[in-house]
Amino acid sequence: MFIIFAGLPGTGKSTIAHALAKELGAVYLRIDTIEQAIRCAENHDKETGPAGYFVAYELARDNLKLGLNVIADSVNPLLLTREAYREVALSTGSKFLEVEVICSDVNTHRSRVESRISDIEGLKLPDWNAVITRDYEQWDQEHLIIDSSKLLVKQCIEIIINAL
């Protein structure tokens, strides 16, 4: 099973994805970790472009071929990235679930963005302006939407597991 997360920074997506990976014993692929490793390897602070996503697609493909459950944790903001994740699942004969995490309470979302501390060494988190002005395309496929402003992490996990 391939569980593909999406959502703006600060919505609670990584918290939920990480907890779900622990619960299921799934492979956890986090774009922030991959992209920061690329920046460290190349000794720069620039954006990595699509490289992190391409690495995640292939790591997911390898692990799905092994029969492992995989969770991809990324903003996944574009129709192109969403389609690429779906293609990975289809190419391995794996079922998939797309989960978009939102935070409908703007004050809560902003507070999360402005108060969080990176758990990845060297990763610079976006500020509120960068989050609200980020290019995030509308979905073109049916998917599960979780509103983290109304649910505890445990409740989010239960909803996702029930959807599986």
For residues 95 and 1, the answer to whether their CB atoms sit within 8 Å is: yes
pLDDT on residue 132: 96
pLDDT on residue 69: 98
pLDDT on residue 152: 97
What is the DSSP secondary structure assignment for residue 102, as one 8-state letter?
E
pTM of this structure: 0.95
For residues 99 and 143, the answer to whether their CB atoms sit within 8 Å is: yes
| pLDDT at residue 49 is higher than 90 | no
Cβ atoms within 10 A of the Cβ of 21, count? Answer: 19
Write out the two tokens for 39. Answer: 């920046």
Query: Beta strands of 8-113 (E only): which ranges?
Result: 27-30, 70-73, 96-102
pLDDT on residue 106: 97
**Could you give all domains of the chain from N- to C-terminal order, each with its CATH number?**
2-163 (3.40.50.300)
Summarised one tens digit per residue, pLDDT across range 59-114 is 999 999 999 999 999 999 999 999 999 999 999 999 999 999 999 999 999 999 99
Summarised one tens digit per residue, pLDDT across range 14-36 is 999 999 999 999 999 999 999 99
Q: Determine phi and psi for 139, rounding to 5 degrees.
A: -75, 145
Q: What are the Cα distances from residue 46, in Å, to 32, 38, 96, 121? A: 13, 10, 32, 15
